[in-house]
Each structure stands twice: as structure tokens, then as C-alpha cells.
Structure 1
Amino acid sequence: MQPVNLRKWLLRAEEPDEEGIVQLSQELNIQKLTAQALILRGIVNKEQGIEFLRANLSALPDPDLLPDMTIACARLEKALVQGEKIAVHGDYDVDGITGCTLFVETLRAFGGQVEYHIPLRLKDGYGLSADAIRHAHEHGCSIILSVDCGVSAQVEADFASELGLDLIITDHHQPPDHLPVCHALVNPQLTSGTSPWKDLSGVGVAFFVLIALRRRLRENGYFSTRKEPDLRQGLDLVALGTIADIVPLGGINRLLVRSGLQLLEAGTRPGIAALKRVADVKQVTSGVVGFRLAPRLNAAGRLEDAALGVKLLLGDDPQDIEPLAEMLDGFNRDRQKIEQQTLLEAISQVEKLDQPDRYSLVLSSPNWHSGVIGIVASRLVERYHRPTVLIAFENGLGKGSARSISGFHLYQALSRSAEPLAGFGGHAMAAGLSIAEENLDDFKVAFEAAARSQLSATDLLPMLYHDGEVALSSFNLSVLKELEMLNPYGVGNPQPAFISRNCQVLAPRILADKHLKFDIEENGCRVGCIAFGQAGKFDQLGGDVDLLYRPGINQWRGKESVQLQVVDFRASGCCNDE
């Protein structure tokens, strides 16, 4: 199977009419280009535009609308009032690390006695740990509070009940047909199909639990003799976990992340400041969080102990924090090396497939590290545009990570392919599974059948979405600074991208053996371009080209200029996209 090189360029949504663009532009006092981008994101009237651009926390919905919220908060209030010990059980990814940190520091600020547990990826696996439940019981805890896990933990919930522990599950993963029996189960996936809550991250759910709990405590006079914590100070954790978990950054998540990014930029949390230093971060954006900060926290869980990430985020002593940050940075470098070797081995397997027309990829090896296979699966999806599962086997048992493409719901597909599996869980675009080695071939057949039933050949062609065709002269610093009001960017709110056609390429060169840098000129307007990771396409820069790009502002030696980050380019007139 060869990498997919051809990509289809499509307008992000139905083309807006000029009258609608002009009207929204005038109502919001914004440029037409900004209004066009908003309409293509479903923001079509003045009220929606104001809400989107202001992104005010006052617009957050009532947390008690989430299922079992009042039950969970009543039990936590009782524990705080009576001095009962609470055990927080997180997960080993960034969402679980930040959610655990948020619960621990805030409940302690409320006056609670709180301990925490993060499972070891290689020893404990995903989800609630029976050993952790036993440990909590032995250490006098009366409540276990999960974050980012637990919705599939029927056996563990029963075990907690047997020990007399009240289990409060907060999770955001897709629920199974049979839910665990527990004291309370707060999961936005259990709300109606039209609910605004569906896309919350695990740490986002935790934040709303704390909002509801604080309100309950306030109403009952709990803070009459103690200081009431400012929950906004935890939004840096919410932003970090939400971005890292690649949930859509619209609606509620946009409100949370936009405020949280400001705290991350300020770096008031000592652990965040140390993490920014080792990652050489000068300015925090959602992209910087996703590609610079989150991987270093994730590396602890992938290779060592994710509890180190919680320790870093909770810490306030520089003598402890600085070595921890350096350690996480070292883990990340090790992770990158292991990831690259795994990727090369996986590509070699794909190239040797005897069925090059497969709609899915299921690859495995006893030599792979289960901590990096999710990242490598994502790389293979980018390369081959197929739903991909990578499985690391050890002693006949496999841990798998799956990543998907648009139009293929992974959790539903795994549900239809579940018979050979020992277990699975996840979302539409990412999931995890466990499997015995003797069942691997049966799973490959079942998963391929699920892919073929849900996908067409057209779905296997990557699509790049844009916000319209524009002239290069449309861009200046004022326009680009206004477009930045659409931040934060991510899934569900992509950075604006545009097309320009029949552009002349000037001064092309290769940077660092990986990137392309060149200028383009259209009707006398010349603009600089950077194409990251596209050095292999240098020979295609001859003649006029069409480009799909994200416009931005380049800062160099104190000067600002327009620069286009090229996503894709091709010879002018070679393709007709819809």
C-alpha cells in the first residue's frame, strides 16, 4: 500500500451568499473575510457572533443539568463536612492527569482530605484499578472519585461496593450497554442527543462537578468560616487537558479553553512555568499546548509514571519542580525515538501487505511499546488515510490503540467487531482495546468488514477544507489580527484556511532538510510562504501553482509581516474540486 498523496480541496460548508456575509460584517463591525469564516463555522447571525467572539464564562450552562450531578455533590459535601477521606482515581493521559490534579487541589482547598492514584500504563492498563480501590479502602477512604475513566468498570464498581466504598464516576467516554452500579455516574454522553455537553473532556466534566459542589457548599454556609476558592484558577488545567484530548473546541469547550489559555500564557502555576521553560515556549496557543506542552506530560504516562505529571502540576517548590520538568522533557525525547522506530516498522508492515486495497489497517508486533502506539497510529492515518489499529503484544496478550478518519465512528465499529476482543472503549476518533494474540486474525477480518460497510472508496481520499478562494491582496496585518479573534483553534473550530490560484513561485528553497520556503506572487502582490514537512515536493514548485494555506503573522527581528502556512499545493489547473 502506498501513501495517499492526492487530497481533495472542499469548501468547509455550503457557500454563503454575499448578502449574508455583508450583513454579518456590518452587524458585528468586522471584515467580510472574518464574517465569511464565521458563517462557514455555523455562526450566521449577530447573537451567535457576539456569543462566539466574546466567549464569556457567564454563558456556561448550569452544571446540575448533567446526570447524577446533584447526587455526586451531595455525597462529596457530606465527606467534606464530616472529614471523610476521598481517593481521586485519574487516568494516565493528559486529560486524566489534569483532571486528577484539578480535583485534588480544589477539594483540598475546600478543606478535604484527599489522596490520588494514577494507574501505570504498562502494569495496570486503562481504567479503574482494583488494586487502587483496595488501597483506598485500606487507607481509610470512604469515597472513590474517578476522572476520565470508569464508565465501563462494572467489575471494579462491584468490588468497591463490596468493600463499602461509595464510587462516584466522572467520565466522558462512550458508555457501554450495561453501566456500572455506583453511587453516582456523571457523564455527558448520557445526556440527550441535542445536549450541549456531549463534547466535554474528562477534566471539563471535573470542572463542572466542582462548580456544582462549590455552589452547594456556598448555599449551605460552608464557606462562612473558610475562604472560598476561585475556580477560575483551575482553568489552565482545563485548557491543557481539553486541548490534549482533541475534543471539539466549540461551544462550552471554547469558553473554557479561551480563558484557560490566558492562564497558561501567564504561567502562574509553577509546574506550568517549568514545563514552558523546558519546552522553550515563548507564547502559548492551542497548537503549542497540543504539540509542545501536552506531549511532555503524556510522556510520563507513556514511558514511566503519569503520577509524576500530577506531582509537577500540584507542586510549588522550585527545587522539586525543576528536576521534574527536566525529567518529563527527557521522557519526551525518549518517546520520540521509540515512536520513530515503531513508525518505520509499521510502515514496513504496510508496504508488505498482500491486500493493498484494504479499507483498514490492523498492525501488531511484540517489539512495540504500548505507550507510543496511539501516536504512531495517528501518523499512519495521516499517511494512508485508513482507520488504523496498532497492537503491542506481550506474552500473548495485546494492548491496542486505534485512530480513525472522518465518517468512521471507531467506538461503533469496535462494537460491531467486539467478539474477538477482550475489551475496548473510547470515542468516535480514538479508542483503545485489548485482545489475545490467537484472536488477531478474526479481529482483522471483522474490523475490515466494519470499515467496508461504513466507508466508500471516496471516503479513503483525504479532504482538506477551506474557507473560500481569495486574492492575496486580501491579506494585511489588520485583517489577520482580526481573524485571530476566532482563536482558540482545534477540532470543531479549525484555523481559517483559504485558496489562491495561478500563483507564481519565487525563490524556492529547502530549510533544515524538511521544510519548503518560498514566495508567491499574484497580480503584483508578493507574500512569503512556509510549507512544513513538504521538502519532498520541491520539484513540484516549477510553474504556476494553486495553494491551500493558513494565513498568519510572521514576527522577525521586531517586524511583522504576512506569511502563508501552506497546507497543500499543486500545479495550477490540474484538479477540479467540488
Structure 2
Amino acid sequence: MSAALQLERSAAFLGVERSLTGRRWRTRDADLALVEAFRRRFSLPEIAARLLAARGVALEGAETFLEPTLKALFPDPSSFADMDEAARVIEDAIVSGRSCAVLADYDVDGGSSGAQLVRYFRARGRELKIYVPDRMKEGYGPSVVAFERLKAEGVELVITVDCGAAAEGPLNAAADLGLDVVVLDHHLMQHEPPKARAVVNPNRMDCRSGQGHLTAAGVVLVTLAAVNREARRRGSIGSNNLPDLIQMLDLAAIGTVCDVAPLTGFNRAIVSQGLKILRNGKNIGLAALAENAGRKGQATVYDFGFILGPRINAGGRVGDASLATRLLSTEDIDEARELAATLEALNQERRAREAEMLAEAETAALAEAEQRAVVIVGSHRWHPGVIGIAAGRLKDRLMKPTIVLGGVSEREPAKGSGRSTPGVNLGAAVAAAKEAGLLINGGGHAAAAGLTVEWERVEELKDFLSERLAPELNAAAGEARALSIDAAGAVGAIDLGLIEALDRIGPYGQGHPEPVFALPDVRVSFAKLVKEEHVRFTLEDARGARIGGIAFRAMKSPLGEALMKRDATYHAAVRVKRNEWNDTVRAEVEIVDLAASAG
């Protein structure tokens, strides 16, 4: 990138104290000596070296950061509490041929976790039954009914994935039924593990693995490595030709990205290497899904999070909850295409329901945001399958932790899904609300939580969570409303060379966000509405240089209104993207924010 792209330091970058989205712009500081050290040691372009330095990457850890390998970052499975026992139980079942089932959550993390196990068992010559609770009828996680059904089908061992760590009652019932259970989970735990043969969770209080950032998909990957190790130790039949776990990294990666885990440490290796596996197209389910979505070209984290992930989730949200695990584990091309087509149709239905709900929820949410630290809105008419997406959209707009409640009817308890802002631990607060007796069920992690609550207790819940989280929200308010700018420069500096430089320090995601660049004093020379909610545009600077781009879901926001007016000069905050279309590759931008300019 040209020398024109330099970080500028000021109290508010470019004087932007309040942008069109209400944010204050700031820059990331970078130690110039460290920038030079990165540039020389790793032959990095200056902009890539500057980004590394500004994001807190240390020189001694840079090599692993730039080339995250499983060899360097894979944790010792035995460092996880109960892992060795889990491996023994699973290997015993495979060797003896016991009837086994995986009970998976209905989201991407659950589906990708379950699919890893199904593929592993199949490669070892065993079939693994798939059981995914129906979101509407059964709710989240294992239940007594689920275990009774599996027992009636002759199942002897149940492996729960992305759920189970807090299911004390159902797991006690499973023990009474004579069912063995192994729990593979990652959700926050504040009590002793429930009764099971093994409970593997890096977030249980006595786990010393230091891997609390893993998703369930990551935990399953480590568990399968432990099972492979146990099989070799025993000399089990086929132990000289065990499944290659590298080929499952695309599944572990999509679960990691879609559950918004930080892309640091082992997670970074999973996603970096998983993208390589995704690109070879061997998982026919993911390939069919991408084809249906019209996605071509080099796969990125964006594909995991915004193209494939929502479609995989659609089954659990508004359709058959088992579709995700079935699609990701199938080796039948015809079945893969059929499942992908079904999920594509369900995703369209999900989007329609989401749009309807958002339109209804926004007014109520705005009123709540003025009164409380936590926004809670709901209706028994809102489908529980799309409340999580709505919560995320509202959280981004309101800059406050947001919970959206839905349900089947007025007579049934509300199902809630929440999303939080940086620095505010919503999962811990929801767990505290359950401990206080306000919830039927509830839990999660810092950024997201789920709950079940009686409608008549919602007002109490609002007061409880707002009082508990107000101090955290106030302390983190500056962080939540600030937009960090990585660099600033001219429109003409945005090209494929810049993209290649940025690729050197990817992948990007939670904990290592995509760089944001400022383009000062640009005007909108072209804008049009795309698919009713997106805006495609062209920005032009004072020198006449132009760059095309898009603003997603912007039409009903201040950003969309400003772009469509084309009557002012702005400072634009953008992410740089590679656009591949009809065998042509070019650079473009995605709008993050706009601020009025005096230029």
C-alpha cells in the first residue's frame, strides 16, 4: 500500500466525535520500531506490519500468528478434565459395536460438531444415530423425553454436543434409564458437572486446559484426537489406519466462526487450516450449499459466517432441526443436493420471518433502550427460530445487550435469545437470573445467551438484568460506541495489491477483526437500491479516483439514506473486499460508517 495510507492520531480521528451511526472514530496506535521489525523479519508490506503491531501481536508470537499450524497450537487432550475417560468410553463403544447416538444442538456449532462424530464413526465402520431436539417442541439441549426415545430405540451411549453441561435433571434421568452419556460442550459452567460418564468442557471450573475460547466443534475435534490416541494405545482393529482429522477441519472451522469464537490461538489454526480444506470441496454437503447460494471463488471466513452458516442454521430455526448434521455428514451427492435445496428454501422463509419481526420489534426496542441498560422485547407471535438473529440486529443498532423473546402461544413460556456488546458478559448475567429463580432455564457465554422464562416474569427479568449489567455497560460504553480505524488514505490506494497484503495476516474474525480504513472527503457519485435493503454505490475523491462498493442492510438506516441522497461530502469508513464475478477480480469496499465532512 502507498505511503499515503498512514495512521493519524488525534482525540477523535478526522474530528469525528459522532458519526451517522453515533460512533466516535479513533485510531489504533502502533509502535513504529515493532512495525519495522515485523516488516524486516517476515518480509511484510508496511500496512500489514502496521496492522499486526497495532493489534497487539508480539514479535515472539508473530510467526505462529502468521502461520498458525495444528502442530504448534493443538492442545494436549489430557489437559481437559474428563477427556481421557471420554476417549475410553467412546473407543469402548466403537470396538464393541454398542449402539450409539449423538444428541446435537440445532445451530451450526451443534451441527458441525455432530457431523464430525458421524463421519468419524462411519470411518471406523460404525453408524451413529443423529438426534437433534426440535426447537419448538423440545427446546434446547437434552431432555428426559429425548433420552427415553433413544433408550427405546436400543441406544446404549449418547454423546451430547454443544449442550448438556447444565442438563442435570435429564442426565440424572438418563442414568436411571441405564444410558451412558458423554457430554462435549463449551458453555459456561458455574456448578459441579452433571452426572455422566464424562463431561468434557473447557469452561468447567476444574478444567486446566486453558482452552475456554473453544466452541463445541473445537472440543469435538480435540476429543476425536484423544479417541485416535486411545485406539493406537490399545492397538484396536484398524488403529494403523485411523480417520484423518485434518479432513474434518472445515467442519470445526465453520462451527468456530459461526459461534463467534475469538480467532486466536488454537481457534486461529482451526479456521486457517479449515479454509484450505473447504476450498478443496471434499465435503459435498458444504459444496452443494455453496453452489445453491451461487457462491464461487476462493472461500473466506465471510463464506462461513454469512453464506453457509445462515443456511445451515435455517433447518433448526424454521424447519427440520436435524438437517444441518445430516447435510454436513452425508457422503451421498444426491442427498447433499436435496438437503442443500431444502435449506436454501428454509433460509428464504427465515429471512421473511426475520424481516417481519424486526419491523415490529424496532419501535419497542428503541423505547426500552431509553429506559434500561438491557433491551428485552418479545411477543408470543414471534418465531423462536429467528429471535437470535433479530437480537443481533437490534444489538448492533442500539449498542446495548439485547434479548428477543418468542414463543408458540401465550400459554407457553417464552424462549429468549440474547446478544451482547463488547465488555458485557450476558451469559453470566443470565445464569445469575436462573440462580435467582427468575428463569426456567438459561445460560450461555459472554457474547450470547439463551433462556426460557414465564411471560409474567419478564418485567422482573428486565429489572434484574439491567441492574446487574448497568455497571458493565457503563464501563464498556466507550468501547462499544467507538470505531477503530486502522489506516487512512486515498481511494486510488485500494486495489488488489492491498488485498493481497491484508491476506498475509488473515484470517479475520472475532478477536482479529477485518481492518477498517478511512477514506476522507469522498462523495457518492452513484447509488442504487439492491434487493430492497442493500445499497450499491460508487465513491469518488477530489482527484477523481473511484471505488465501487456495497452497504448491506443499510436502506432503512442513516447510512443508506445518506448514500441514496448523494448530496454531501463524507469521511467513509470501509472494509476492503475482493469481488469475483464472471472470471473478473477487482477490489471494492463495504461501508462500515459515514461521517459528515467539511470538504
Flag whether TM exceeds 0.5 (same fold): yes
Once structures 1 and 2 are overlaid, which stretch shifts more, 22-31 or 531-540?
531-540
1:293 has 2:308 as partner: yes
| 2:527 alignment partner, one of 491, 509, 514 | 509
2:464 corresponds in structure 1 to: 446
TM-superposed deviation, 1:115? 1.7
- Deviation string 1:426-446 (CA, Å, 9 cap, x unpaired) is 111110001112211111111
| Correspondence list, 1:557-572, <5 A | 558-572=583-597
Partners in 2 of 1:103 and 1:557 — Cα distance? 38
SS in 2 for 1:563: strand
Is 1:215–2:236 an aligned residue pair? Answer: no
**Structure 1 residues 367 and 476, CA gap change in structure 2 (3 angstroms):** closer
What SS class does the counterpart of residue 489 from structure 1 fall into? Answer: coil
Q: In structure 2, what residue type is equivalent to 1:375? A: I
Post-superposition shift, 1:93? Answer: 0.7
| Pairs within 5 Å for 1:341-352 | 341-351=356-366
Which whole-Å CA distance do the structure 1 matches of 2:561 and 2:573 have between them? 17
Shift of 1:543: 4.7
CA 1:506–1:277: 2 relative to 1, 3 Å: closer
The 8 Å contact of residues 4 and 384 in structure 1, kept in 2 or not, is answered as no
Q: Which amino acid in structure 2 is aligned with residue 310 of structure 1?
A: T
Distance 1:196 1:40 in 2: 25
The Cα shift of 1:191 comes to 6.4
Q: 1:194 to 1:315 in 2, by over 3 A?
A: closer
Q: Which moved more, 1:425-434 or 1:57-66?
A: 57-66
1:489 aligns with 2:505: no
Alpha-carbon offset, residue 352 of structure 1: 5.4
Q: 2-side partners of 1:240 and 1:485: how far apart? A: 21
- One-letter amino acid of the structure 1 residue matched with residue 329 of structure 2: L
Aligned-pair distance for 1:189?
1.1
Instruction: Choose from 6, 27, 50 the match for 2:63.
Output: 50
Q: 1:425 to 1:280 in 2, by over 3 A?
A: same
**Aligned partner (choices 541, 544, 547) of residue 521 of structure 1:** 541
CA change 1:191–1:61 in 2 (3 A) is farther
Per the alignment, residue 421 of structure 2 pairs with 405
- Indicate if the aligned counterparts of 1:417 and 1:450 stay in contact, CA closer than 8 A: no
1:115–1:437 Cα change, 3 Å: same
- Counterparts of 2:176 and 2:208, CA distance in 1: 37
Q: Give the letter aligned to residue 9 of structure 1.
A: W
Deviations 1:438-496 (A, max 9, x none): 21111111122123232228717622222233455655433320211222221111111
Matched, 1:304 2:319: yes
In 1: Cα distance, 2:459 partner to 2:93 partner: 50
CA distance in 2: counterparts of 1:397 and 1:476, whole angstroms: 53
**Paired residue secondary structure (2:253):** helix
Amino acid at match of 1:433: L
Preserved contact between residue 540 and residue 571 of structure 1 (Cα < 8 Å): no
Q: 1:57-76 alignment to 2 at 5 Å?
A: 57-59=70-72, 60-76=74-90
Cα distance change of structure 1 residues 41 and 193 upon mapping to structure 2, 3 Å threshold: farther
Q: Which residue of 421, 435, 441 corresponds with 1:423?
A: 441
Please list, as runs of the form range in 1=range in 2, the aligned pairs for 1:65-464 lying within 5 A after superposition: 65-190=79-204, 196-224=210-238, 227-283=241-297, 284-351=299-366, 356-393=370-407, 394=409, 395-418=411-434, 419-456=437-474, 459=477, 462-464=481-483
Tell me the secondary structure at the aligned position of residue 507 of structure 2. Answer: coil
Report the CA distance shift for 1:160/1:554 in structure 2 as closer, same or farther (over 3 A).
closer
CA 1:312–1:554 in 2, change beyond 3 Å: closer, same or farther? closer
Kept in 1: contact 2:424–2:472 (CA 8 A): yes
CA displacement at 1:140 relative to structure 2: 3.0
The percent of aligned pairs where both chains have the same amino acid is 32
Q: Aligned-pair distance for 1:171? A: 0.2
Judge conservation of contact 1:151–1:176 (CA < 8 Å) in 2.
no
Indicate how the Cα distance of structure 1 residues 545 and 192 shifts in structure 2: closer, same or farther if over 3 A, else same. Answer: farther
* Long gaps (5+) in structure 1: none
The alpha-carbon deviation at position 194 of structure 1 amounts to 8.8
Offset, 1:254? 1.3
Post-superposition offset of 1:8: 1.7
Contact residue 232 and residue 240 of structure 2 kept, 8 A: no
Q: Distance in 1 between matches of 2:471 and 2:245?
A: 46
Shift in Å, 1:75: 1.5
Question: How far, CA to CA, are the matches of 1:546 and 1:157 in structure 2?
Answer: 56
Aligned CA-pair RMSD: 2.5
Structure 1 pair 245–314 and aligned structure 2 pair: CA distance change class (3 A): same
Q: Measure how far apart 1:267 and its partner are.
A: 1.8
What amino acid is aligned across from residue 326 of structure 1 in structure 2?
A
Q: CA deviation at 1:530?
A: 1.9
Q: CA deviation at 1:103?
A: 0.7
Deviation of the 1:192 alpha carbon: 7.5
What's the CA shift for 1:330? 0.8
> d(CA) in 1 for partners of 2:395 and 2:113?
28
Q: Is the alpha carbon distance of 1:463 and 1:106 closer, same or farther for their aligned partners in structure 2, counting shifts above 3 Å?
A: same
Query: Structure 1 residues 20, 527: CA separation in 2 closer, same or farther (over 3 Å shift)?
Result: farther
Q: TM-score, normalised by structure 1?
A: 0.92
Letter of the aligned partner of 1:151 in structure 2?
A
TM-score normalised by L of structure 2: 0.89
Aligned residues: 566
CA distance in 1, matches of 2:162, 2:101: 14
SS of equivalent residue, structure 1 residue 277: helix
CA contact (8 A) 2:548 2:589 kept: yes
- 1:541: how far off? 5.1
| Between 470-479 and 316-325, the greater mean CA deviation after superposition | 470-479
Point out the more displaced range, 540-549 or 65-74. Answer: 540-549
The residue that corresponds to 2:517 in the other structure is 498
Separation in 2, partners of 1:190, 1:246 = 20
